[in-house]
Amino acid sequence: MERFYITTPIYYVNAKPHLGHAYTTIIADTMKRFQQMMGKETFFLTGTDEHGDKIVQAADKNNCTPQEYVDQISQLFKDLLPELGICNDHFVRTTDAAHKKVVQDVLQKVYDSGDIYFGEYGGHYCYGCERFYTEKELEDGLCPQHQTKPEYIAEKNYFFKMSKYQDWLKQHILDNPEFIRPERYRKEVLSLLDSGELEDLCISRPKTRLEWGVELPFDNNFVTYVWFDALLNYVSALDYPDGENFKKFWPSVQHIVAKDILKPHAIFWPTMLKAAGFEPYNNLNVHGYWLVNDTKMSKSLGNVVAPLEMAKKYGNDTFRFFLLRDMHFGNDASFSEESLALRQNAELANDLGNLFSRVLSMVKKYFGGVVPQPAEYTEADMELRELASNSCKNFQQLFDNVRFSYGIESLWELVRGLNKYVDSSQPWTLAKEGDTARLGTVMYTMLECMRKVALHLWPVMPESAEKLVGQLGLDFDPATANLPAEVEAWGLLPVGIEVAPGSNLFPRVDIDKLRKEIEEADKAAEQAAKKEDVAVQEIAAPIEFDDFAKVDLRIGKVLVVEDHPKADRLFRCEVDLGEEKPRQILAGLKEHFTAEDLLGRQVVVVANLKPRKIRGLESHGMMLALKTADGMEMLTASGEVPAGTKAS
């Protein structure tokens, strides 16, 4: 039997689950269900990544030990799965003893082969990413993910000879076009490899800096760097090296990751596998970000979507349908509750729900709720049957290639075609005219096509699909639901069985009422944010006077204020600081001030701030402002003073 192994990344437990985690896991669950119906033996893995600097920091903040902290947060991720209808086969934790043993065994194997060495390295370390960055990778000296300045750290560590495998990896990607998909991410990885600067990978942290991790088997003064620990979950969960699951499912594996962890999965992981003697994985499937108000979700921005709230309000299946329908896999997508509700009304209530409601009600009315015997098929019937065949074939091909939104669209071509067929065939007229034979053919044709729709929907909407199949008088069993056969099969709905008298699975949402609720919630959140912003903040750690003396604060006058040509939230200002010519300063103040508010104002400027390029323009300083209960106020002098006056 052909086998299919699907994984999510193991989720880092420094914060609670959010929409991004839910999406990735729902995608994996959908793929498992789909391949199960395609006749494959499946295994679905998810879990949590529990070592590293951020875990220690989060535990300290919560006044508990790292183990107590990871136990608590890991359980939140585990509890989320059944709540979202997720049917995983295993949940791995990197603090599991079995996982740690595999990490140490693989490390020892790679070390013994000569691919790990001891050396000294200095680099820009981002604690948020828990990785070193090169100068080229930084954006204006900042971490590209967190937009914070990394700390330069020089220390002795162990290194994996990743650069040794650069040519092999590049050739493997070229020889296997589907290895990384969609295509845009394959090109991105090849571009990195073409640069010829693949460095060796630091794979340890000294215990003097970090103790929370898997100890190196060949040096107990160091723990394993989080990626060389976390990525190995994909084999440790299969009971490597002697487990039956490892023998059955490796390397028939599909990884699903978000684009922010492309490099570790597309470069670190395959080279690690090669060095350890494993066959490389089948596919790396990379998706984009879910955005809220066109901004990546962030706890600090307060725009994190709680998946359970949406699932409980609209139902798991509607939530799952929306996520797969609205994001074109590989691209970013915007989430809003209104979009979800509109999708439910248009495609679930109006299209699918209305179809089942109309047809089942007519079967009850015209045939006593029993599936009728079809007679001779007309050209219109055969066209619908051909549409059904094409829709099923396209759905299967697209889902197999992680093009979920397009796959659902291909199925909806059949749903919409069925609704048109109802209107053009006019069963009510046939009943009135007493044409029972033709009426029976029309009703059977619709019911058989509806059966195909319901079966193909199961990977996306398992609860609803099972109910729809049940309304057609059938029992649902994914083990016997042979999707490939559905492309050509016809007449699998038995004549004479009883169907439900109607259907009402997808109620409509009152959009006007919802908009009002969202508006009120946004106002309440805005008020709460204002109160929080002006609350007394904890004083930062003390600094020396010499540190403060380095900051040069000057009074300036704003002479020019205009929009930044490439950044919606920035002003481009010219500020007179008493110098030969005005300074260009870029200020993120558009949410709080108009150009007229700033023009001609006296402002306090950090005059000796290192210049920084933002979206193509260079900023030479920073204007200071403070938050109040009513918004923002510019920091300024109490009276008019000459431009360039130094604050002291």
Tell me if residue 129 is catalytic.
yes
Residue corresponding to tokens 């791995």: 92
Task: Give the pLDDT of residue 523.
Answer: 83
Tell me if residue 456 is catalytic.
no
Task: Give the pLDDT of residue 183.
Answer: 95
Largest Cα separation within the chain, whole Å, is 98
Q: What is the pTM of this model?
A: 0.79
| 457-479 pLDDT per residue, tens | 999 999 999 999 999 999 999 88
CB atoms < 10 A from the CB of 537, how many?
A: 9
- Beta-strand runs (E) in 172-261: 180-181, 201-202, 204-206, 215-216, 219-224, 253-258
Tell me if residue 299 is catalytic.
yes
d(CA 102, CA 246): 13
Task: Report the chain's C-alpha Rg in angstroms.
Answer: 30
| Kind and range of the H or E run holding 563 | strand 553-563
Residues 387-416: b if buried by 16+ CB within 10 A, e if exposed: bbbebbebbbebbebbbbbbbbbbbbebbe
Is residue 505 a contact partner of residue 454, using CB atoms and an 8 Å limit? no
Which of 497, 503, 387 lies closest to 452, judged by CA? 387
Task: Give the pLDDT of residue 535.
Answer: 47
Phi, psi of 599 (to 5 degrees): -60, 125
Task: Give the pLDDT of residue 345.
Answer: 96
Task: Give the pLDDT of residue 134.
Answer: 75
Active-site residue identified among 40, 78, 101, 146: 146
Tell me if residue 296 is catalytic.
yes
Tell me if residue 170 is catalytic.
no
Active-site residue identified among 21, 32, 274, 452: 21
Task: Give the pLDDT of residue 158.
Answer: 95
Query: Residue 86: which residues within 8 A CB-CB, separation 6 or more?
Result: 25, 26, 29, 46, 80
Tell me if residue 564 is catalytic.
no
Residue corresponding to tokens 């190995």: 232
Q: Where are the alpha helices (DSSP H) in 63-176?
A: 66-83, 97-112, 166-175
Task: Give the pLDDT of residue 144.
Answer: 80
Task: Give the pLDDT of residue 591.
Answer: 76
Binding site for Zn(2+), by residue number, is 126, 129, 143, 146
* Average pLDDT per 10 consecutive residues for the chain, totaling 648 residues: 95 84 95 96 96 87 91 92 93 96 97 95 76 78 81 89 95 96 95 85 90 95 92 96 95 95 96 96 95 65 71 93 95 92 96 97 97 96 98 98 97 98 96 96 98 98 97 93 95 97 93 91 73 54 73 91 81 90 90 84 92 84 80 81 85
Tell me if residue 18 is catalytic.
yes
Active-site residue identified among 61, 156, 187, 299: 299
Which two structure tokens, joined as six digits, stand for 303?
A: 């725009």
Task: Give the pLDDT of residue 58.
Answer: 85
Task: Give the pLDDT of residue 34.
Answer: 97
Active-site residue identified among 99, 126, 456, 564: 126
CB atoms < 10 A from the CB of 566, how many?
A: 10
